[in-house]
Amino acid sequence: MTENTAKNISVYAEASPNPESMKFVLNQIVLPDGVSVDYPNVEAAGNSPFAQELFNFDYVSRLFIASNFVTITKNSTDTWSQLIPELRTFIKSYLEAGGPVFLETPTSEKKTEAAPENQTEEDAAISKKVIDLLENYVRPAVEQDGGAITYHSFQDGIVKVKLQGSCSGCPSSMITLKAGIENLFTRMMPGEVKAVEALA
């Protein structure tokens, strides 16, 4: 046997706040911490043979992959209790067989976000504080729910973020955004942040 022997993968399902999304947690890291990918359809999943295989299940409508979990969003009236066994079995067998998750490991989007052209120096300094708060306070909680939040921009007191995974299209995500995240920012950065908005 070579060193590359298949390891025993465990997969367990964890409910998310979005009733249409389920988080499948693995005992294997598939992406570096802080990096995630959101595939709204099979066409977007060109870099992930694993995601393409999951899209072969006709009830899978969206996939979100982060460090050690995949969040699957369904478009079916079937209950999760009907779908979980099949998905768990597939994920476990695919990873145990050494199937590739990605052709090339994705990298963090954060470095590629450009500041708005007319952003002031003051706004740039506030942006840095906003990113720190998102990374340290918000991202870990959102990831626990099978989703992700990434910083997009800050201008005129408005923080714009991108919601992914179970947060995308979740009925309660707007409540979380306004009641939870916006409150956190207005409390910790009073006078600087007036509102938090999600990009469509």
pLDDT digits (tens, 9 = 90+) for 135-178: 888 888 788 777 878 888 888 888 998 887 767 766 666 766 77
- Return the residue matching tokens 């840095």: 128
Chain centroid to CA 108: 12
Give the confidence band of 111 by pLDDT, cuts at 50, 70, 90.
very low
Average confidence score pLDDT of the chain? 84
- pLDDT at site 32: 87
Structural domains of the chain, ranges and CATH numbers in brackets: 11-96 (3.30.1370.70), 110-198 (3.30.300.130)
Res 105: pLDDT: 86
pLDDT range class, residue 6, cuts 50, 70, 90: low
